[in-house]
Structure 1
């Protein structure tokens, strides 16, 4: 899929009180940017046990194990959890360092049911990026089986304009 990223966030069990995460949550996201900064604040994905195995500009791989709470009335995985998992992988692929990119839309096709205890892997890649828009495809697999395919459409937001509270904040020291 590409070269491993030195910025990869590999597990949600990281110490969320760390200085790097605090920096990402404030207005001075210098240490973590792009996908790493987004995942550091993504409590929904972390709560579901999603891990970012690796990512880089334009690609990502994530994992998730299906738990009891994710099963629907048919005792198969609720489609909303599969969508959220694929959407998280999409977000990891489309958030380049220094950018804030959001979904403008996404579609999923469920191909096979999954069950409690299944470990899913989602692999996403950029199909095309033109200006601030992009298209990304995500395959969700269980072992060698493709269980769902997702296509996400992204939009990179313009840089935020500084607010008065940003101007009043003390400068963040930078390394020489």
Structure 2
């Protein structure tokens, strides 16, 4: 699904955050974000919004992987450990899918494999095809 990876390169905010989409297949996606000084909050841990953005892009890629436009209608994130340095990885797995609604669990881990956050997302599947938005 190289085309889907290329499609998500258009996400300018994720690119600004340094997020790279590594893999996409039906109902699955994996992305990474190398931590830089720009990701830190006031107490020198990775800002929650940066972690959320990593998880959210991965959710978007997995939920749109079937070729139909899918948009978030509900998300929840739990932060389980502070991220300090290295690279973060997000892995999205589809848990349910029907013609209108699909759900995903996205786990964000650090270089050691420790869980940093768990993000759960619900997407609404629209009638539009993703290819309608291709350049």
TM-score (normalised: structure 1): 0.68
Aligned to 1:139: 107
Indicate which of 96, 104, 118 corresponds to 1:149: 118
- What residue ranges of structure 1 are gaps of 5+ in the alignment? 1-6, 9-31, 161-176
Tell me, in whole angstroms, the C-alpha distance in 2 between the residues paired with 1:71 and 1:46: 17
* Conservation of the 8 A alpha-carbon contact between 2:27 and 2:66: no
Is the partner of 2:68 in helix, strand or coil?
coil
> Over aligned residues, Cα RMSD in angstroms?
1.5
Tell me how far 1:97 sits from its aligned partner: 4.5
State how many pairs are aligned: 128
Residue 34 (structure 2) pairs with residue 65 (structure 1): yes
Greater RCO (Cα-Cα under 8 Å, separation 6 or more)? 2
Larger Rg: 1
Report how far residue 66 of structure 1 moved: 1.3
SS of 2:127's partner is coil
Report the TM-score, using the length of structure 2 for normalisation: 0.88
Task: Tell me what 1:44 maps to.
Answer: 13
What are structure 2's unaligned runs of at least 5 residues?
A: 130-135
Secondary structure (helix, strand or coil) at the match of 1:140 reads strand
Change (3 A) 1:144 1:37: closer
Higher strand share: 2
In 1, distance between residues paired with 2:6 and 2:70? 12
4+ aligned runs moved over 6 Å, structure 1: none
1:89 alignment partner in structure 2: 58
